Amino acid sequence: MNHKASIEFANIHKSYQRTVVLENLNLTVAPGEHVVIIGPSGSGKSTILRLLMTLEKPDSGEILIEGESVWHTTRDGRNVDASPAHIRRMRGKVGMVFQHFNLFPHLRVLQNITEAPIRVMGMPRSQAVRRATDLLDRVGLADKAEAWPAELSGGQKQRVAIARALALQPRIMLFDEITSALDPEIAGQVLQLVLDLAKQTEMTMLFVTHQMRFARQIADRVLFFDRGRIIENGTPEQVLDHPQQPRTREFLNNVFQAS
């Protein structure tokens, strides 16, 4: 296994207009580590994932993936903005599953999965189809290959979205509130799928979730995030059972009362 950190955020600042979303964020994630980020909505949790996926650009600071800066390269000893090709290469190491699935409505389920391997990796179609079929089988949707996304239930859509992200064989997977748009029962099934997946692979995984039971099951480490800062960082037992900060206790009380 690589001894370098899988992910590193150094002094990251991010704000939208006047609202500061991330303030001087420092975070290191080891290869193969499963990190769960919890915290109130609007606290900037999702922004961490969106920054890693290069959907957003930080205002300042460095994001390193496997020791390499995403947004900068050195030329003649100076730090310069990275080329689009470099950013695409870095992006290729990361995959993401979204809260609202974001399947492509105009492509059938199988095409949703094969599109990126064919167009991005240049994989031959037959091979891409074979792999997509395997992946669909793995997420329990082998019979839905020819269905349209609109014909699927929410849980099925999210399974397809997971298969779609896996098809590119990323080294880092990001899960952004993947069950927030699902019924509790369906959510449980999708989370079980992710738990199985986590056991089978060595991918680094980052989760933003409100599901505390799932967090406890999957996490090597839990971060509690509030108002743009990490205010608690430790094992699930430390953060969920013995929180040090009053703000964390308050949040956890509210969550457990609600569920």
Partner 1 sequence: MLHMLPMMLRGALVTGEVTAGAIVVASVAASCAVAMRLSTLAALDWPARVYIELFRGTSALIQLFWAFYALPLVLPFRPSPIITAIVVLGLNGGAYGAEILRGALLSVPRGQHDAATALNFSATTKVFRVVLPQAWPLLLPPMANLFIDMLKNSALAGLVQVTDITFNAQILQESTLRNAEVYGLALVIYFIMALVLAGFMRLLERRMKFPVGARI
CB of 119 to partner 1, least distance (A): 5
Q: Which is nearer to partner 1, 1 or 150 (CB)?
A: 150
Contact between 116 and 166 under an 8 Å Cβ cutoff? The reply is: no
Q: Which of residues 133-152 bind partner 1 (CB under 8 A)?
A: 148-151
Gap between the Cα atoms of 37 and 206, Å rounded: 7
Q: Which is nearer to partner 1, 149 or 228 (CB)?
A: 149
Gap between the Cα atoms of 70 and 62, Å rounded: 8
Using alpha carbons, list the distances in angstroms from residue 64 to 5, 91, 98, 100, 167.
9, 11, 22, 27, 23
Among 104, 146, 196, 259, binds partner 1 (CB under 8 A): 104
End-to-end CA distance of the chain: 38
Among 96, 172, 215, 240, binds partner 1 (CB under 8 A): 96
For position 39 contacting partner 1 by CB under 8 A, the verdict is no
Q: Which of residues 156-195 bind partner 1 (CB under 8 A)?
A: 157, 164-165, 168, 181
The site for partner 1, by CB under 8 A, has a size of 32
Among 91, 131, 144, 159, binds partner 1 (CB under 8 A): 91
Q: Are strands 68-69 and 60-65 parallel, antiparallel or unpaired?
A: antiparallel
CB of 9 to partner 1, least distance (A): 18
Gap between the Cα atoms of 53 and 57, Å rounded: 10
Among 15, 24, 54, 133, binds partner 1 (CB under 8 A): 54
Among 115, 134, 220, 234, binds partner 1 (CB under 8 A): 115
- Reference 221, options 83, 28, 50, 10; nearest CA is 28
CB of 252 to partner 1, least distance (A): 30
- Quick check: helix, strand or coil at residue 59? coil
For position 16 contacting partner 1 by CB under 8 A, the verdict is no
Which two three-digit tokens encode residue 99? 């809260």
- Reference 67, options 123, 118, 2, 147; nearest CA is 2
Give the residues lining the site for partner 1 (CB under 8 A). 50, 53-55, 88, 91-92, 94-96, 98, 100-107, 115-116, 119-120, 148-151, 157, 164-165, 168, 181
